Amino acid sequence: MSAPSSELSARLRSDARRIVEAAIEAVKPAMFLPPHLPRPRENQRVVVFAAGKAAGSMAEAAEAHYRAQGLGPDRLSGLAIARHGYGRPLAILDGREAGHPVPDEAGLAATAEMMRRARAVLPDDLVIFLLSGGASANLVAPMGAITLAEKQDLTRQMLRAGVPIGEINVLRKHVSRVKGGRLAALMNGAEIVTLALSDVPGDELSLIGSGPTIPDPSTLAEARAVIARYNLQPAASIRAVLEDAQSESPKPGDACFARSRAIVAARPADAWQAAWKKAEALGYRVVDLGAELEGEARDVATAHAARALAAEAGEKLAFLSGGELTVTIRGKGRGGPNQEYAMALALGLGGAPGIVALAADTDGTDGGVGSAEDPAGAFVDATTLPRARAAGLDAATMLENNDSSAFFRALGDLYVPGPTFTNANDLRVILCGGKA
């Protein structure tokens, strides 16, 4: 790159990072949760349960809030189960960590403890359930004769097939003893207030973390349809559960929800709006590509590259998109939807000058191996493809092998912020135009 273009690229990269970081900051639990926490009656016990990628930080915010109101261990108790690496220091509440996206033994043990505590809740207690995306994997209690290994295998099959998260959760809710409202059914009629951080399009409460305390409108028939639609091959024990009418989840109007209410306390739209404001503050005109996109990551990236290439030269534009894209895994590489989007975007842009992009998951990890050090996404600029060729990397071939992590790691272009302790879906930023 020439010096001016190098300076422009560096500035655009910095701006893209600042836009994504503004979005993440807007959905930190310490920012949004306290105003929604209900005040207990005099001497009422408060039991806090939390599950999901933001469970640690949501529990941390709730604990600080109630301790400031004078509640000690005699009135405040609970358990938070977060993804490995996403726990937070807690003084009164108990914190555990569990596997994601594939459930593990730690999640099995932690969920058993949460179920034990749920059964110990008294009718006069106030239960606060703090829900965030990732709870579907963190909470694992297979129904019937289903083993953890069989549940893990089904999860891997769904991920490889690119099943959209909504359909994944429909199936999950019908093979679990806690999802789809079943955790609420254990709580002896106590008052339950669910406060959710949404990571799903439309902010449908029953889909966030598979709704452990939320009435489930989906059915066994719909779960079986997911199996058929994606040609999944579950274990016989899973098929048996899905064929048993007794496996149906509790529906709206069930008595276990008589004293239950739920609020979406923060949503992807909040992160999106923060990103929009930050982009405008940095001098960009924002182009809305859709806040709740779904679809195959590489297909969406190709369409977005065409939009960016068609932009008027010299105008400072920020193309923003949100939502949760999917990857149908055909190869043997490693990556995630944001990295795959970035790789396909690089190919679509073809090295066009003056364009920089960052695609990232607001939770701090995109695909990966379940480690807190997994990348959250990747950067793209005009030098991506030339540098790849110079390094002996064939972008198209690596994309077909779903090997986006290796591609961007070799270029030093992975975005690795570490755990953000929140989760409000993905954000993709394409910046173009302007002068160095």
What is the model's pLDDT at position 80?
Answer: 98
* Chain center to CA of 380: 22
Is 155 among the domain residues? no
Question: Considering only CA atoms, which of 170, 148, 146 is closest in space to residue 158?
Answer: 170
Give the integer Cα–Cα distance in Å for 145 and 396: 44
Mean predicted confidence (pLDDT) in 371-400: 95
Q: Buried b vs exposed e over 301-316: b needs ≥16 C-beta within 10 Å?
A: beebbeebeebeeeeb
* pLDDT at position 433 over 70: yes
Residues 125, 20, single domain; the answer is: no
In the three-class reduction of DSSP (H, G, I as helix; E, B as strand; rest coil), residue 355 is classed as: strand
Q: Are 126 and 184 contained in the same domain? A: yes
Confidence class of residue 434 from pLDDT cuts 50, 70 and 90?
low
* Residue range 131-168, pLDDT digits in tens: 999 999 999 999 999 999 999 999 999 988 989 888 99
Report the run of H or E that residue 285 belongs to, with start and end.
strand 285-288
Indicate whether 157 belongs to any domain: no
Residue 228: inside a domain: no
Rounded CA separation 407/84 (Å): 25
Whether residues 279 and 362 share a domain: the answer is yes
Q: Which of 203, 231, 266 is the last residue of a domain?
A: 266
pTM above 0.85, yes or no: yes
Instruction: Kindly state whether residue 238 falls inside one of the protein's structural domains.
Output: no
Is residue 226 a part of any domain in this protein? no
Give the number of other Cβ atoms within 10 Å of residue 2's Cβ: 9
In this prediction, residue 435 has a pLDDT band, given cuts at 50, 70 and 90, of: low
Task: Give the per-residue pLDDT at 3.
Answer: 46
Q: Work out whether the CA dihedral 94, 367, 415, 424 comes out positive or negative.
A: negative
Note down the domain range covering 428: 3-26+269-432
pLDDT of residue 398: 97
Clarify whether residues 90 and 135 are in a common domain: yes
**Span 197-204, average pLDDT:** 91
* CB of 272 closer than 8 Å to CB of 320: yes
Tens of pLDDT, residue by residue over 18-42, are 999 999 999 999 999 999 999 999 9
Q: Is the pLDDT of residue 2 over 60?
A: no
Mean pLDDT score, 319-330: 92
CA distance 185 to 342: 43
Spell out the long-range contacts of 311-315 with Cβ–Cβ below 8 A and sequence spacing 24 or more: 311/287, 311/432, 311/433, 312/433, 313/354, 313/433, 314/433, 314/434, 314/435, 315/285, 315/432, 315/433
**Closest CA relative to residue 395, chosen from 326, 328, 334, 345:** 345
* CATH of residue 426: 3.40.1480.10
Same domain, 325 and 254: no
Q: Is residue 111 part of a domain?
A: yes
Query: What percent of the chain shows pLDDT beyond 90?
Result: 90
Q: Are residues 61 and 198 in the same domain?
A: yes
Please check whether residue 231 lies inside any domain of the structure: no
Q: 429 - beta bridge partners?
A: 320, 358
Are both 259 and 294 inside the same structural domain? no
Tell me the CB-side half-sphere exposure of residue 95, using CA atoms within 13 A. 22
- The first and second tokens of residue 285, run together, are 């005109």
Residue 52 near residue 133, CB atoms below 8 Å: yes
**Cross-strand partners of 128:** 48, 193
Q: 63-80 pLDDT, tens per residue?
A: 999 999 999 999 999 999
Residues 87 and 13 in one domain: no
Does residue 105 share a domain with residue 135?
yes
Same domain assignment for residues 205 and 337:
no
Q: What is the tens place of the pLDDT at every residue in 258-304?
A: 999 999 999 999 999 999 999 999 999 999 999 999 999 999 999 99
* 3 state DSSP class of 144: coil
Q: Is 391 exposed, middle or buried (0-12, 13-18, 19+ CB in 10 A)?
A: exposed
CATH at residue 203: 3.40.50.10180
Closest of 377, 362, 385, 380 to residue 432, by C-alpha? 380
**Residue whose C-alpha is closest to residue 370's, from 337, 297, 419:** 419
**DSSP class of 187:** S
**62 within a domain of the structure (yes/no):** yes
* Mean pLDDT over each residue of the chain, to the nearest integer: 95
Element (H, E) at 25: helix 3-26
Say what the pLDDT of residue 63 is: 98
* Residue 20 and residue 40 in one domain: no
Q: Is 42 exposed, middle or buried (0-12, 13-18, 19+ CB in 10 A)?
A: exposed
Residue 114 DSSP SS3: helix
Whether 255 has a pLDDT exceeding 70, the answer reads yes
Same-domain check for residues 21 and 135 = no
Does residue 1 register a pLDDT over 90?
Answer: no
When divided into structural domains, the chain yields a total of: 2
> Quick one: pLDDT at residue 11?
94
Is the peptide bond between 101 and the residue preceding it cis, with omega within 30 degrees of 0? yes
pLDDT at site 202: 87
